[in-house]
């Protein structure tokens, strides 16, 4: 008979019988060794049997270790950001008859960050005024969205709508990272930025020159570090588009668009468009400000990540590479050679990301900021809008891909910005000037 989780939760060890020792385990880390005496384990087992509960050995072992660990951490009180890890080389402890249940963990114990004077931090806010030209362009876009498609013979032109099957292949992986059939894409004007399924595709319209329906377009890309799927960031990939249809769009009239949105007038619709563009500009500003804030904090603070945290992350990265190479033509020897050649680069990336994560977590604690489900949902919804996807569909994709933590971290960083906005120095510059500065490096 399996124990009811609620009943198991009420199970309490006699803490006076527990043994615990905390020792240094290298830089900013402690090893906590714990022992639950055999007599105490036996007492708990008898108690459960009297309650008509008979959890299996593995389940009970895990529950007792969890309870003992919580007690031990409450005594040691480490300033932990990453929680307990199993020491390298240790296996998960399991109850054995007439023997104590002994186990250990390694946990980070991070020193408090010495925060700079906030007034010494200067960040730049790109200011993008909504112009009449921008309003007209968005109104034209709405007319196209409400327009009538007609088949085009030959290659697609800017403004056309293409229907295609999409596939993303990661270099060295046996199976596509994802594929979607029948998606609709607008052919952009020359130089206009394009994001396809969350992936920026520079010069997208150039890849469509000279192609027609039933052809496959392949585009080499590098997945950006900001991509929600952590396991794809920084990887080289091929984006394949199998063109199914090419349609010219006969734009709807402004009157038809006004009626479609049930707006009282063209003026009212233009006001709605302005509000939408202003909201998008604010989101872009906040992202830019947040990125700069944490770049400054990384430069101005000392954060030393424990070795066991870095090594655990590196091991996960290497195992991910092995999984993705499974059933491919690469030999095991070639795979391990590739992993060995990439270890140093991966470790540098892990160190940089871990430092930013540590700063974000400690700053959240320092400012006493709480991150709620509502704030996380807000980040998901806003990214869905930027990607042109339905928020409910995008949220399901985020959950399925296990990317909630990515958006929780975004929410955490944006909340830190909001708390510090009035204390740091923010310099406004025209958005065009800011873009030129970024392009110039």
In the chain, the percentage of residues whose pLDDT exceeds 90 is 59
pLDDT score, position 6: 43
- The answer to whether the predicted template modeling score (pTM) of the entire model surpasses 0.95 is no
Structural domain 118-122+273-440, CATH architecture = Orthogonal Bundle (1.10)
Q: What is the pLDDT of residues 257-308, one digit of tens each?
A: 999 989 999 999 999 999 989 988 999 999 999 999 999 999 999 999 999 9
Q: What is the 3-state secondary structure (H, E, C) of the chain?
A: CCCCHHHHHCCCCCHHHCEEEEEECCCCEEEEEEEECHHHHHHHHHHHHHCCCCCCHHHHHHHHHHHHHHHHHHHHCCCCCCCEECCCCCCCCCCCCCCCEEEEEEEECCCCCCCCCHHHCEEEEEECCCCHHHHHHHHHHHHHHCCEEEECCCCCCCCCEEEEEEEEEECCCCCCCEEEEEEEEECCCCCCCCEECCEECCCHHHHCCCCCCCCEEEEEEECCCCCCCHHHCCCEEEEEEEEEEEEEEECCCHHHHHHHCCCCCHHHHHHHHHHHHHHHHHHHHHHHHHHHHHHHHHHHCCCCCCHHHHHHHHHHHHHHHHHHHCCCCCCHHHHHHHHHHHHHHHHHHHHHHHHHHHHHHHHHHHCCCCCCHHHHHHHHHHHHHHHCCCHHHHHHHHHHCCCHHHHHHHHHHHHHHHHHCCCCEEEEEEHHHHHHHHHHC
Confidence of residue 241 (pLDDT cuts 50, 70, 90): very high
Q: What is the pLDDT of residues 143-176, one digit of tens each?
A: 988 899 999 988 898 889 999 999 998 887 778 8
Q: Which of 78-87, 182-191, 215-224, 269-278 has the lowest mean pLDDT?
A: 182-191
pLDDT score, position 175: 80
Q: What is the pLDDT of residues 364-401, one digit of tens each?
A: 999 999 989 999 999 998 888 777 678 888 888 888 87
Indicate the domain borders of the chain: 5-108, 118-122+273-440, 148-250
CATH number of 148-250, picked from 3.40.1390.20, 3.10.50.40, 1.10.10.10, 3.40.50.12160: 3.10.50.40
CATH number of 5-108, picked from 3.40.50.880, 3.30.70.1050, 1.10.630.10, 3.50.30.40: 3.30.70.1050
């Amino acid at each position: 008979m399996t124990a009811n989780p609620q009943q198991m939760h009420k199970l309490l060890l006699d803490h006076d019988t527990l043994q615990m020792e905390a020792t240094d385990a290298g830089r900013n880390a402690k090893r906590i060794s714990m022992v639950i005496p055999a007599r105490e384990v036996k007492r708990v087992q008898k108690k459960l049997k009297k309650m008509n509960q008979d959890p299996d050995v593995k389940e009970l072992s895990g529950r007792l270790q969890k309870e003992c660990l919580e007690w031990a951490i409450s005594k040691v009180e480490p300033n932990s950001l990453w929680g307990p890890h199993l020491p390298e080389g240790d296996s998960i402890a399991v109850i054995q008859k007439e023997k104590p249940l002994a186990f250990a963990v390694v946990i980070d114990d991070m020193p408090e960050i010495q925060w700079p004077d906030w007034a010494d931090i200067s960040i730049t806010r790109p200011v993008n005024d909504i112009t009449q030209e921008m309003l007209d362009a968005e109104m034209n876009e709405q007319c196209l969205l409400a327009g009538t498609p007609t088949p085009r013979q030959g290659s697609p032109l800017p403004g056309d709508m293409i229907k295609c099957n999409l596939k993303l292949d990661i270099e060295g992986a046996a199976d596509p990272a994802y594929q979607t059939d029948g998606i609709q894409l607008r052919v952009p004007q020359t130089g206009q930025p394009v994001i396809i399924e969350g992936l920026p595709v520079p010069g997208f319209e150039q890849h469509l020159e000279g192609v027609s329906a039933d052809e496959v377009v392949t585009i080499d890309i590098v997945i950006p570090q900001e991509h929600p799927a952590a396991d794809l960031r920084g990887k080289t990939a091929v984006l394949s588009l199998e063109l199914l249809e090419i349609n010219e769009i006969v734009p709807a009239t402004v009157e038809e668009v006004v009626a479609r949105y049930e707006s009282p007038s063209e003026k009212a619709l233009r006001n709605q468009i302005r509000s939408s563009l202003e909201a998008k500009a604010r989101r872009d500003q906040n992202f830019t400000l947040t990125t700069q804030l944490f770049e400054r904090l990384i430069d101005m603070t000392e954060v030393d990540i424990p070795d066991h945290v870095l090594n655990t992350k590196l091991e996960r990265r290497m195992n991910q590479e092995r999984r993705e190479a499974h059933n491919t033509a690469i030999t095991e020897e070639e795979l391990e050679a590739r992993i060995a050649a990439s270890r140093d680069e991966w470790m540098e990336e892990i160190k940089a990301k871990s430092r930013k994560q540590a700063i974000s977590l400690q700053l959240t604690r320092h400012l006493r900021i709480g991150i709620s489900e509502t704030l996380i949902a807000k980040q998901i919804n806003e990214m869905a809008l930027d990607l042109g996807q339905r928020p409910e569909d995008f949220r399901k994709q985020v959950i399925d891909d296990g990317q909630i933590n990515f958006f929780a971290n975004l929410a955490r960083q944006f909340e830190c910005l909001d708390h510090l906005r009035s204390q740091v120095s923010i310099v406004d510059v025209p958005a065009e000037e800011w873009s030129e500065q970024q392009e110039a490096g």
